């Protein structure tokens, strides 16, 4: 299903003019932060291949996708900042929670309280958690301007890697998708293990407190 979607977008882009190609990739980079299932990373890598072929400029596409990524991240930050009370008060039936499990939000807020802006800096490298990170950054009321700067740094590094990889391996750019898939699964496994450790520590602390009483 994902491969079909990517192929459809690639076919669409191949028929578009240079200006339209820039607009399409800008939209993809933005939506990838707002609609988590969107395979935006693979398509951003494809833009590197197009830059290598001279269809678009390397630095313009990097700059546009970075700005769009930050805009998408800050859009979710704004939603979290404005709807924090509503989301917390309606943990079972808020419309956003149809797309994001509240347990992930709770874990995200714990990360924010413990590591703050470091989570924002690493957000682009944490596949599958970006929407949660941006939403919980807003819910945690992290400094807006620091969040913008750190989201920018994260996007510059990650998008640079993707576009650079697509530019280097050219027509074999689709190989990046398999590596990203494996990388994403590893990240999710690591996150799951960290959550299990945190849950265990929290459970032990509660048990110790209850025994003291």
The structure's pTM equals 0.79
For the range 34-40, what are the long-range contacts, defined as Cβ-Cβ under 8 Å and sequence gap of 24 or more? 34/72, 34/75, 34/76, 34/131, 36/99, 36/128, 36/130, 36/131, 39/2, 39/5, 39/6, 39/177
Q: What is the pLDDT of residue 84?
A: 74
> Residue 211: what pLDDT?
60
Rounded alpha-carbon distances, angstroms, from residue 175 to 44, 89, 145, 169, 188: 13, 44, 36, 9, 21
Q: Are 77 and 104 a contacting pair, CB within 8 Å?
A: no
User: Residue 153, Cα to own-chain centre: how many angstroms?
Assistant: 13
Angle in degrees, CA 24, 27, 31, rounded to 5? 140
Q: Pull the structure tokens for residue 95.
A: 């419309």
- pLDDT tens, position by position, 69-100: 999 999 989 988 888 777 666 666 666 666 66
- Do 144 and 77 form a contact (C-beta atoms < 8 A)? yes
Whole-number percent of the chain with pLDDT over 70: 68
């Amino acid at each position: 299903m994902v491969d079909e979607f990517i192929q459809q977008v690639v076919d669409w882009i191949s028929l578009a003019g240079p200006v339209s190609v820039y607009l399409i990739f800008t939209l993809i980079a933005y939506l990838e932060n707002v609609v988590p299932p969107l395979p935006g990373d693979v398509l951003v890598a494809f833009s590197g291949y197009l830059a290598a072929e001279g269809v678009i400029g390397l630095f313009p596409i990097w700059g546009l996708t970075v700005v769009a990524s930050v805009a998408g991240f800050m859009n979710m930050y704004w939603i979290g900042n404005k709807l924090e009370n509503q989301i917390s008060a309606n943990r079972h039936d808020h419309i956003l929670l149809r797309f994001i499990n509240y347990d992930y939000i709770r874990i995200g807020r714990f990360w924010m309280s413990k590591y703050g802006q470091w989570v924002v800096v690493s957000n682009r490298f944490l596949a599958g958690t970006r929407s949660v990170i941006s939403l919980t950054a807003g819910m945690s009321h992290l400094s807006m301007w620091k969040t913008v700067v750190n989201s920018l740094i994260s996007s510059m590094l990650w998008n640079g890697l993707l576009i650079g990889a697509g530019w280097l391996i050219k027509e074999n750019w689709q190989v990046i998708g398999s590596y990203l898939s494996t990388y994403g699964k590893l990240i999710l496994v690591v996150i799951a293990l960290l959550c299990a450790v945190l849950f265990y520590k929290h459970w032990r602390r509660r048990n110790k407190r209850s025994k003291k009483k």
